[in-house]
Structure 1
Amino acid sequence: MKILGFAASNNSQSINKQLVTYSTQLVEAEVEILDLNEYEMPIYSADREIASGVPELAQAFFDKITNADAIVVSFAEYNGSYTSAFKNIFDWVSRIEQKLYQGKPMVLLSTSPGPGGAQSVLAGAVASSPFFAGDVKASLSVPSFFDNFDVKAGKISHPALQQQLQDAMNTLTV
């Protein structure tokens, strides 16, 4: 099994990248973690698409999804929604294929430093993924990241959250 993971953030110190990296280690699989900074493109607009077509980086991102057996995404929340970095990539890739997740099984995660755990963006992602052919098997919000994740050890430190995360990740191997 090949799992594609990424944080829906372009922050170089992303706690969501730490979470998705750790999460993908919980199952037996070949894992590739993407960095959204490697897929930076002009802001999507219909005019830009007509003038220049879809950027090669959008195709490269789509190809990564195509070559994966499962997808794990951890969403950062900016003002209650997706980060602009993720949304722009998503907008461009969806121009290649509206069903961009291609029926792949997915685990959707989110975290934040505060007690909300980026639940708003996670709820939106879970609700919308089926419209883009995402087969969401599980989702989990990790609240208060620095209280529940041991950054030095690189793992969840809260036993109940650890079990919930393991259970979520196990849905990809069923």
Structure 2
Amino acid sequence: MAAILAFAGSNSSKSINYQLVKYTTSLMDNHTIQLLNMVNYPFPMFGEDYERDNGYSNSLVELKDDMAKADGIIISVNEHNSGPSAYFKNLTDWLSRVERKFLDGKPVLLMSTSGGQRGGITALEATKTVLPRFGAEVVATFSLPSYSANFKEGEGITNAELAKTHRAAVDQFLSKL
């Protein structure tokens, strides 16, 4: 049984990426899942002056420690203006200051979704490029386009082909744990 930490790169209370992560973890039997809602993790904008004057918050250090304890990480990034959200970028900035390789050796399932036909793919690809700098091994990716047309809360992914692709990504991730 593996310990999996899962969260969305969004701090929105209505995050569709959080819904995708929640659904994804519901498919993982026989594993210990720690599902984080990032609404509960407000961090100030990173700045060297702020860091010097205030140090690191307990919640940031606890998040970094939870990542270190996990056997694998699931992240679904949201997209703002063709890139990862400012919240997610800020989160990685803070985590990398506490420990540069905060994802050292961790297998990662990286996902994204959006209301549009591209499914947040630009943010996913940018994040896929950056996470290895922090020690992550991105072992599988999945993008869900047109969230409203392809996902129903309580049911999950409604498009059969996308559901099959998602399941393959989940299985690939689990095989690395």
- Bucket of the pairwise TM-score, normalised by the shorter protein: over 0.9
Asked if 1:114 corresponds to 2:111, the answer is: no
Q: Which runs of 5+ in 1 are unaligned?
A: none
Which residue of structure 1 lines up, in the alignment, with residue 36 of structure 2? 34
Asked if 1:50 corresponds to 2:52, the answer is: yes
Relative to structure 2, which stretch is displaced further, 46-55 or 2-11? 46-55
Q: Distance in 1 between matches of 2:110 and 2:27?
A: 15
| Percentage of identical aligned residues | 35
Q: Deviations over 1:3-57 (max 9, x none)?
A: 1110110111111011011111222211111111222122110111111212222
Secondary structure, aligned partner of 1:141? strand
Q: Distance in 2 between matches of 1:41 and 1:173?
A: 30
Q: Deviations over 1:136-157 (max 9, x none)?
A: 1110110000111112x24000
Q: Distance in 2 between matches of 1:147 and 1:39?
A: 30
Which residue of structure 1 lines up, in the alignment, with residue 9 of structure 2? 8
Q: Distance in 2 between matches of 1:34 and 1:154?
A: 21
Task: Give the Å deviation of 1:65.
Answer: 0.4
Task: Give the Å deviation of 1:85.
Answer: 1.9
8 Å CA contact 1:9–1:86 kept in 2: the answer is yes
Which residue of structure 1 lines up, in the alignment, with residue 62 of structure 2? 60
Aligned partner letter, 1:139: T
Q: Distance in 2 between matches of 1:72 and 1:173?
A: 11
- Root-mean-square deviation (CA), in Å? 1.1
Task: Tell me the matched-pair count.
Answer: 173
Q: Distance in 2 between matches of 1:41 and 1:130?
A: 23
Q: Distance in 2 between matches of 1:39 and 1:60?
A: 11
Q: Distance in 2 between matches of 1:125 and 1:41?
A: 19
For 1:148, which of 147, 150, 172 is the aligned residue? 150
Which residue of structure 2 lines up, in the alignment, with residue 165 of structure 1? 166
Q: Deviations over 1:75-108 (max 9, x none)?
A: 1101111222222221111101111112111100
Q: Distance in 2 between matches of 1:154 and 1:97?
A: 38
Q: Which runs of 5+ in 2 are unaligned?
A: none
Secondary structure, aligned partner of 1:72? strand
Aligned partner letter, 1:21: K
